[in-house]
Structure 1
Amino acid sequence: MSGMGQIERFADLVVRAGVNVQPGQGVVVDSDTAHLEIARAVVAAAYRAGAGWVEVNFQDGPIQRSGVDRATVEALSASRPWALARIDQWRAAGVASIGLVGDPDPHLFDGADPVRLAARRHDEVRARRDALFAGDMRWSLVAAPNPGWAEQIFGEPDMDRLWAAVSTAMRLDSADPAAEWQTRSATLTARAKQLDELDLDEVRYLGEGTDLVVGLPPRARWTGGGLVDHAGIPYLPNLPTEEVFTSPDLNRAEGTIRVTRPMVIAGQLIKGLRVTFKDGRIDEVDADEGADVIRAQIETDEGARHLGEVSLVDRDSRIAEAGIVFHNTLYDENAGCHVAWGQSFPWSVEGGLAMTPEQRAAVGLNSSGVHTDVVIGGDGMTVRGTGPGGTVDIIRDDEWVL
């Protein structure tokens, strides 16, 4: 299969199975300039699917680095009313949102001030996230192959090898990738239903360097296999996705995690991360490389120190099957169990979408301008759940056994 053929299949999958573009719908694509060829293919696929209009918002790493180095923290985090108005208009129109992510240069922000690097326009982040999480905009995030990503994985910009790995992970190697994702989604949905029926109060992650107990809020509901918007249209917020997940009680997390895969935060590579939780909050952060980036991030708001997601992934995953560390959170989080600090998912509690922010906080859902996933699973990982029926193994030695 040629590179262009793969790009077209990739774009078609994102449009059809990812955001599931409908006739006449507006589409917004966020992309780095390094993903220009893929962005063009996504736009073409969206129009083939009947999109009414497509807008691409390009970002560029070196331009972002200039801002981090030269702008003040206040300027980097200042509110922009016109940007908020645009998000409101997208939300009212039910626009589909596609994000092409992936760091073309993982060392671009080496040496940058961690505080400036962590600065965010939190009102814009929240407005966009609120629109997505409320179900007003279907969205899909997908990592776009690029030479810098290939070099980070393989030590050389081998795009053929990267596309082969991405094809495995995204099921592009099948006759009908969208149909394959429907089948996988059904499996993940069934697993979420199993967990809902247990009415769990807490989950415990046990692995090398990890022993973490996380409490769940009352009426917690698990999600797997995608979401459905207000009109009943299904979509996949992340491609690929191999997880079932929910949001924990922000006040109930005790223990330590060891992150098992490298991660990139704000353009900085983090290795050997270890985090300790006490009384629901991040208490200590240590790492072989990049600890200051995490410490700066969790100081951006109070919610950044609390968990917003717990997720279950076993070895029966196309990401794990690919057999490599992708150095991309969107992929690597689907190779093993993970947790995330920061923003919760409001639909994770029965009736949560209709709750006010105050009501969500009262039941234990977290609110933050960040949402950072970290992988803690892999070989040897065991996850146990405790509920009214007692304690059961959900995953044992990285295999789903429930």
Structure 2
Amino acid sequence: MTGTDLLQRFADLVVRVGVNVQPDQGVVVRADTAHLETARAVVQQAYAAGAGWVDVDWTDGPIRRSRLLHATPAELTRTRPWTLERIRSWTAEGVCFITLAGEADPHLLDDVDPAKVAARPVEELRAMQQAMIEEQLRWTVVAAPNPGWARQVFGEPDTDRLWAAVATAMRLDEPDPVTRWRDRHAELAARARALDALELTEVRYHGSGTDLTVGLLPETRWTGGGEEDPSGLFYLPNIPTEEVFTSPDRRRADGRIRLTRPVVIGGRLVEGLVVTFAGGRITEATAVRGADVVRAQLDTDEGARSLGEVALVDRDSRIAKAGVVFHNTLFDENAGCHVAWGFSFPFAVAGGLAKSDDERYELGLNRSTVHTDVVIGGEGLTVTGTGPSGSVDLLRDDEWVLPV
């Protein structure tokens, strides 16, 4: 299959399944200048699907670097009224929101002050979180191959090789990727229903360098695959996705995790990360590389040191089968079990979307302006759940064993 064919399949999947563009609907595409070719293909496909209008919200790595080097911390965290108004307008109009990820240069910010890298305009982030996570608009995040990302993965800017790996991970090599992703959604949704039936009160991750026990809330709901917006339209927030996940009780996490894949935080590469939890809070973080940016992010706000997600991914994952460390959270988090510190998902408990932010917080869900997924899965990892009927293995040696 040629690169042109893969790009067309990529764009078709993003538009038809990722956000499910409807006739006359508005579409916003957020993309880096390194994603130009992919952005053009996505825009063309969105119009072909009947979009009324498509706007591209461009970013650029070197421009962001200049801003971080020269702007003051106060300016980097300042709320811009026009940004809030734009988010309100997108929500009111019910646009689709597509984010193209894929770092063009993971080392671009290596010499930038970690506190500046972690700085964010809190009110703007919360407004966007509310629109996306509370299902006020359909959205998807998908990574676009580019030479810089290929260099990070393979040591050379071989985008054809990266496209081949991405095709495996995204099922672009299937005869009908759109139908296959709908099938995969059904498989993951069945796993989520099986977990719901157990009424688990805690999960334990246990493997080489990892032994973490996390408490769950009453009426916890697990999610797998895609979502439906309030009108009943299906969409896939992450492509690819291989996980079944929920949000835990932010007050109950004890133990230690050792990452099995690197993670990029704020444009900085972090490797060899080990994180310790006590009483629901991260108390220590060490790393072979990038510990300073992790610690800066953990100091962003009160909720940054507590968990907002626990997720189950087994060895049958397409990303795991690709045999590549993608150095991209969207892909690598779907290679194995993971957890995330930062904000929780309001739909993770029964009736959560109908509750206020304060009610969800009192219940035990977390709130933060960050959400960082870190992979702890792989060979030897076992995940056990505990509920009213006792303990049961969910994954054993990285293999899904819970009947569905």
TM tier, smaller: over 0.9
SS in 1 for 2:140: strand
Aligned counterparts of 2:79 and 2:159: Cα–Cα separation in 1: 39
SS in 1 for 2:319: helix
> How is 1:191-202 mapped onto 2 (pairs within 5 angstroms)?
191-202=191-202
The C-alpha deviation readout for 1:244-285, integer Å capped at 9, x for no partner, is 000000000000000110111111110000000011000001
> How is 1:301-320 mapped onto 2 (pairs within 5 angstroms)?
301-320=301-320
Q: Which residue of 2 aligns with 1:324?
A: 324
SS in 2 for 1:142: strand
Q: Which residue of 1 aligns with 2:376?
A: 376
Amino acid at match of 1:275: V
Q: What TM-score results when the alignment is normalised by the length of structure 2? A: 0.99
Give 1:91 shift. 0.6
The C-alpha deviation readout for 1:97-152, integer Å capped at 9, x for no partner, is 00000101011001110011110011111101100111110000001100111111
SS in 2 for 1:205: strand
Q: Which residue of 1 aligns with 2:15?
A: 15
> How is 1:351-362 mapped onto 2 (pairs within 5 angstroms)?
351-362=351-362
Give 1:95 shift. 0.7
Give 1:215 shift. 0.3
SS in 2 for 1:131: helix
Q: Which residue of 1 aligns with 2:171?
A: 171
Aligned counterparts of 2:261 and 2:273: Cα–Cα separation in 1: 9
Q: Which residue of 2 aligns with 1:157?
A: 157
Give 1:2 shift. 1.8
The C-alpha deviation readout for 1:227-258, integer Å capped at 9, x for no partner, is 11100011100000000000000000000000
Q: Any stretches of 5+ residues in structure 1 without a counterpart?
A: none
SS in 1 for 2:12: helix
Aligned counterparts of 2:43 and 2:33: Cα–Cα separation in 1: 14
SS in 1 for 2:372: strand
Give 1:87 shift. 0.2
Q: Any stretches of 5+ residues in structure 2 without a counterpart?
A: none
Aligned counterparts of 1:206 and 1:330: Cα–Cα separation in 2: 23
SS in 1 for 2:106: coil
Q: Which residue of 2 aligns with 1:146?
A: 146
Q: Which residue of 2 aligns with 1:64?
A: 64
Aligned counterparts of 1:143 and 1:73: Cα–Cα separation in 2: 29
SS in 1 for 2:250: coil
Aligned counterparts of 2:159 and 2:26: Cα–Cα separation in 1: 31
Q: Which runs of 4+ in 1 moved over 4 A?
A: none
Q: Which residue of 1 aligns with 2:289?
A: 289
Give 1:201 shift. 0.3
For the 8 Å contact 1:79–1:124, the answer to whether it is kept is yes
For the 8 Å contact 1:218–1:363, the answer to whether it is kept is no
> How is 1:35-114 mapped onto 2 (pairs within 5 angstroms)?
35-114=35-114
For the 8 Å contact 1:103–1:267, the answer to whether it is kept is yes
Q: Which residue of 2 aligns with 1:229?
A: 229
Give 1:175 shift. 1.3
User: How many equivalent residue pairs?
Assistant: 402
Amino acid at match of 1:44: Q
The C-alpha deviation readout for 1:54-109, integer Å capped at 9, x for no partner, is 11000000000001111001001101011001101111111100000010101100
Aligned counterparts of 2:90 and 2:283: Cα–Cα separation in 1: 38
SS in 2 for 1:292: helix
Q: Which residue of 2 aligns with 1:344?
A: 344
Matched, 1:130 2:130: yes
Aligned counterparts of 1:171 and 1:345: Cα–Cα separation in 2: 27
Give 1:356 shift. 0.7
For the 8 Å contact 1:38–1:144, the answer to whether it is kept is yes
Aligned counterparts of 2:165 and 2:101: Cα–Cα separation in 1: 16
What's the C-alpha RMSD, in Å, of the aligned pairs?
A: 0.6
Q: What TM-score results when the alignment is normalised by the length of structure 1? A: 0.99
Aligned counterparts of 1:132 and 1:95: Cα–Cα separation in 2: 11
Give 1:174 shift. 1.0
Amino acid at match of 2:264: V
Q: Which residue of 1 aligns with 2:242?
A: 242
Give 1:362 shift. 1.2
Matched, 1:271 2:292: no
Matched, 1:180 2:185: no
Aligned counterparts of 1:72 and 1:251: Cα–Cα separation in 2: 34
Aligned counterparts of 1:268 and 1:357: Cα–Cα separation in 2: 31
Aligned counterparts of 1:183 and 1:291: Cα–Cα separation in 2: 40
Aligned counterparts of 1:369 and 1:255: Cα–Cα separation in 2: 24
Amino acid at match of 1:180: R
Amino acid at match of 1:86: R
Aligned counterparts of 2:115 and 2:173: Cα–Cα separation in 1: 42
Amino acid at match of 1:5: D
Aligned counterparts of 2:116 and 2:358: Cα–Cα separation in 1: 30
Amino acid at match of 1:336: G
Amino acid at match of 1:29: V
Aligned counterparts of 2:4 and 2:181: Cα–Cα separation in 1: 22
Aligned counterparts of 2:2 and 2:69: Cα–Cα separation in 1: 40
